[in-house]
Amino acid sequence: MANQLSNNETMKEGADRYKAGVLPYKKMGYWQPDYQVKDTDLLAMFRITPHAGSDPEEIAAAVAGESSTATWTVVWTDRLTACEMYRAKAYRVEQVPNTGEGTKIEAQYFAYIAYELDLFEGGSIANLTASIIGNVFGMKAVKALRLEDMRIPVAYLKTFQGPATGVIVERERLDKFGRPLLGATTKPKLGLSGRNYGRVVYEGLKGGLDFMKDDENINSQSFMHWRDRFLYCMDAVNKASAATGEVKGHYLNVTAGTMEEMYKRAEFAKQLGSVIIMIDLVIGYTAIQSMALWARQNDMILHLHRAGNSTYSRQKNHGMNFRVICKWMRMAGVDHIHAGTVVGKLEGDPMMIRGFYDTLLDDHTPQQLEKGLFFEQDWASLNKCMPVASGGIHAGQMHQLLTYLGDDVVLQFGGGTIGHPQGIQAGAVANRVALETMVMARNEGRDIWNEGPQILQDAAKWCGPLRAAIDTWKDITFNYESTDTADFVPTATTSF
């Protein structure tokens, strides 16, 4: 489809181009089907739902225009600049499989757009996003719009710090190798006093978890002010560390109303010897980058809770895919990000989630349409960001979790630890035994996908807490259909 147009239908030239008035975006130079993508270009791919009867190429050109240099009418001042270079170029449009005539979904199109590197300020997610998602999502001309993926050129990646610590150094600091890390979110998430809250932290860590965690909305409320929480939690962390001989941590959430307050809380966490602090996605891209710089300066692991993301990442036709957030957050410099569980209570198609994990962890991700990875991405030695799986998971799913998510992940069993019938320590033991048993079995070459339930049953014969966990949650699954699914399906699928 893309190459059916000849060049003279795409762009007017010279005086003709700059005559006052309104021109279609295609004719203003924002549609260039012959454009040769450069290695230094930033690429974006949007899912476009045009109004019935409108030309998808024109809409793609409009998105390119409005996310770069265009306004609604011709301006002669373009001619004072190297405007042809600054224009983003829509260079490919193709219909999304299984949409349009003969399907239940109205026609959607994938639009590929190339952006000149000089359009963007180095080291600024805010500047990047102000262009790419700043204006275009409200355009009347397009019925719905979703940013599906981006290819960030190496030259641009090199202007970002990247994860403050990274997966490799995090493991070295924690002295934990060759297995997923284990965590839990303190529950109930609201209402506990600092002293009671620290009790949950202590029990979970002493029982065998590596991390405990504040929830996204635990900041400094009337029932527990932040300094109380930090003081009690760090007593719990250090006491559990002494009781087990292991490095332990609690993600102290420093999210606050101002940067000044966040720095103050982060400094206190450092003073108390915490290995990790936490922020929420809702603090904004610039605040996240600032905290990542602080974390690098202060030898701190930086955990990011993706609070708020589903407001724009869940619906398939509008907003932005979470894989784009993963890319931006790896650039912005966080060390942990919640990226889905596949089997838990929150949204997640297995292949899509694998795509998020690859985006966070790989040195280089090839194009893999079945995982929703539309572009090859070289990560230019940027540190790796640890994915966190949290929400409705329990020990009985360990074989599935390890198969889907691999070793480089924090498995967070909040309810699955604290809700254990024999207590929090027993809940932690159940999870740790299930994890170590499954890692050992996998390394021994056993088929854990199929033998997993039996492997857990065998361990439950000598581990009472695991027995109780399996009996309590044996039938709990969250089988709802995902909304964010692949548009391309590999021809042969085996295990997932």
Comparison of 391 and 416: residue with beta carbon closer to another protein: 416
> Could you say which of 143, 176, 187, 318 is catalytic?
187
Comparison of 154 and 439: residue with beta carbon closer to another protein: 439
Comparison of 23 and 430: residue with beta carbon closer to another protein: 430
Q: Minimum Å distance from CB 228 to another protein?
A: 9
Angle between helices 125-132 and 322-332 (to 10 degrees): 150
Q: Minimum Å distance from CB 427 to another protein?
A: 11
Q: Which value, in Å, is the radius of gyration of the alpha carbons in the chain?
A: 25
Enter the tokens of residue 60.
């793609």
Q: Minimum Å distance from CB 286 to another protein?
A: 29
Q: Minimum Å distance from CB 203 to another protein?
A: 11
51 counts as catalytic: no
> Could you say which of 89, 250, 303, 305 is catalytic?
305
**What phi and psi, each to the nearest 5 degrees, are found at residue 95?**
-70, 140
Comparison of 321 and 437: residue with beta carbon closer to another protein: 437
Comparison of 76 and 462: residue with beta carbon closer to another protein: 462
Q: Minimum Å distance from CB 350 to another protein?
A: 24
Q: Are residues 420 and 468 in contact, defined by beta-carbon separation less than 8 angstroms? A: yes
Q: Minimum Å distance from CB 75 to another protein?
A: 47
Residue that is written with structure tokens 């002669």 in the block: 76
Comparison of 343 and 426: residue with beta carbon closer to another protein: 426
Comparison of 111 and 360: residue with beta carbon closer to another protein: 360
Distance of CA 202 to the CA centre of its chain: 29
Q: Minimum Å distance from CB 231 to another protein?
A: 5
- What is the C-alpha separation between 255 and 281, in angstroms, rounded? 9
Among 372, 61, 479, 188, residue whose Cα is nearest residue 199: 188
- Residues forming contacts to another protein in the complex (CB under 8 A) are 168, 171-172, 175-179, 206-208, 227, 231, 234-235, 238-239, 241-247, 271-273, 363, 381, 384, 425-426, 429, 432-433, 436-437, 439-440, 443-445, 462, 465
Task: List residues with catalytic annotation.
Answer: 187, 305
